A and B are shown apart, each in its own frame.
Chain A
Amino acid sequence: GQNIDQPTEMTATEGAIVQINCTYQTSGFNGLFWYQQHAGEAPTFLSYNVLDGLEEKGRFSSFLSRSKGYSYLLLKELQMKDSASYLCAHGAGNMLTFGGGTRLMVKP
């Protein structure tokens, strides 16, 4: 089977750092994706990890440990516009399985 879990909600302060965790179980693995989705809008691609380690892209970084079935998205220097849902998804074959998403609220 394929399961993917992430926290439902998180709150953080503007300017701070927040880490959103994701754990998964899958019989096949082609990579771990993070998408950002603002309310009522389409998800947009943030990052992709296929090998273990940290991928940094500006204020956003994503980490993967395949042996532990674990990933996190790290957001630095939080801005109010970062308030959104963050979706973790793992790829297997030509398919993506999404987690339930983590709703991040950034407060002043």
Chain B
Amino acid sequence: DGGITQSPKYLFRKEGQNVTLSCEQNLNHDAMYWYRQDPGQGLRLIYYSQIVNDFQKGDIAEGYSVSREKKESFPLTVTSAQKNPTAFYLCASSIRETGANVLTFGAGSRLTVL
């Protein structure tokens, strides 16, 4: 079955460490996204990519980095520069060509900074 796989599901990090969250999709979607969700809040866009080897900053990109070397993969690195990284991180993808983008989400990765 097609879908999006995020790993790890739970991750603990010490202050000052970089961590990388994995996101893989086999839906043949061109566009991929990373969102952050804090308790009781909506989804905020971190980065998005509409095509391989290209990505754009979202609303809260500071302290994060991404790469898009393959169509299927869009890993997110949470760097030590991110001041408050504890959150639920959601990866999503969509068919690039449609103006109305139904997003398919992964199951999420919950990051906790100790």
The contact of B107 among A8, A42, A99, by CB within 8 Å, is A42
B100→A98 contact, CB < 8 A: no
B31 at the interface (CB under 8 A from A): yes
B43 at the interface (CB under 8 A from A): yes
A31 and B108 CA atoms in complex are apart in Å by: 25
A40→B40 contact, CB < 8 A: no
Interfacial residues of chain A within 18-76, with CB under 8 A of chain B in the complex: 30-31, 33, 35, 40-45, 48, 50
Instruction: Provide the residues of chain A in CB contact with B100, threshold 8 Å.
Output: 30-31, 48, 50, 91
* Residue among A40, A42, A44, A89 facing the most chain B CB atoms (10 A cut-off): A42
Minimum C-beta distance from A1 to chain B (A): 11
A100→B42 contact, CB < 8 A: yes
Instruction: Provide the residues of chain B in CB contact with A99, threshold 8 Å.
Output: 42
Known A-B contacts A94-B50, A94-B96, A94-B101; the reply to A43 vs B90 at CB < 8 A is: yes
B19 at the interface (CB under 8 A from A): no
B99→A91 contact, CB < 8 A: yes
A45→B102 contact, CB < 8 A: yes
B48 at the interface (CB under 8 A from A): yes
Minimum C-beta distance from A33 to chain B (A): 7
B43→A87 contact, CB < 8 A: yes
Instruction: Provide the residues of chain B in CB contact with A4, threshold 8 Å.
Output: 42
Q: Which residue of chain B lies nearest to A49 when distances are taken between CB atoms in the complex?
A: B100
Instruction: Provide the residues of chain A in CB contact with B99, threshold 8 Å.
Output: 30-31, 91, 93-94
Instruction: Provide the residues of chain A in CB contact with B35, threshold 8 Å.
Output: 98
A35 and B44 CA atoms in complex are apart in Å by: 15
- Residues of B whose CB lies within 8 Å of any CB of A are 31, 35, 40-45, 48, 50, 88, 90, 94, 96, 99-108, 110
- Given pairs A31-B100, A101-B40, 9 additional interface contacts (CB within 8 A): A4-B42, A30-B100, A31-B99, A33-B102, A42-B108, A43-B43, A43-B90, A45-B104, A98-B35
